[in-house]
Amino acid sequence: MTPSGTKVRVKAMTPPGHIRAPFYLRGKTGEIERVLGPFRNPEQLAYGLPASQKILYRVRFTMAELWGDAAENPADTLDAEIYDHWLEEA
């Protein structure tokens, strides 16, 4: 489990199927806002498969990180829930 405050990057992968890591966050770096705990992996649940437990995090990104110069206000933030297997240390 990775503690709050850790810098993480959403893996820039594009596997097929039902996934919950939105495309616009892939490859983007943020900070763990809080640890939500273990949840059954929706990527398996969606297909009626036995689902393993994955740690779910709330990750906070700045609008500057997501949209660059196009950000309305670079310091505004976006929080999203991302599963552990989608994150790597940044």
Partner 1 sequence: MPHDHHDHLSPSGHPYRQDNDAPLTYFQRMEIAVRELLIEKGHLTQAEIATQIDRMDARSPANGAAVVARAWTDPDFKARLMENAGDATRDMGFDIGPLHLVAVENTADTHNMIVCTLCSCYPRNLLGLPPDWYKTRAYRSRAVREPRAVLREFGLDLPETTRIRVHDSTADMRYIVLPARPVDTDGMDEAALAKLVTRDSMIGTGLPLAPENT
Task: Kindly list the residues in this chain that would bind partner 1 in the complex (CB under 8 A).
Answer: 20-22, 24, 36, 39, 42, 56, 58, 66-67, 70, 72-73, 75-83
Q: How far is the CB of 56 from partner 1 (least distance, A)?
A: 6
DSSP helix/strand/coil, 42: helix
> Is 44 or 77 the residue whose CB approaches partner 1 more closely?
77
> Is 50 or 70 the residue whose CB approaches partner 1 more closely?
70
How many whole angstroms separate alpha carbon 53 and alpha carbon 81?
Answer: 15
How many whole angstroms separate alpha carbon 5 and alpha carbon 32?
Answer: 5
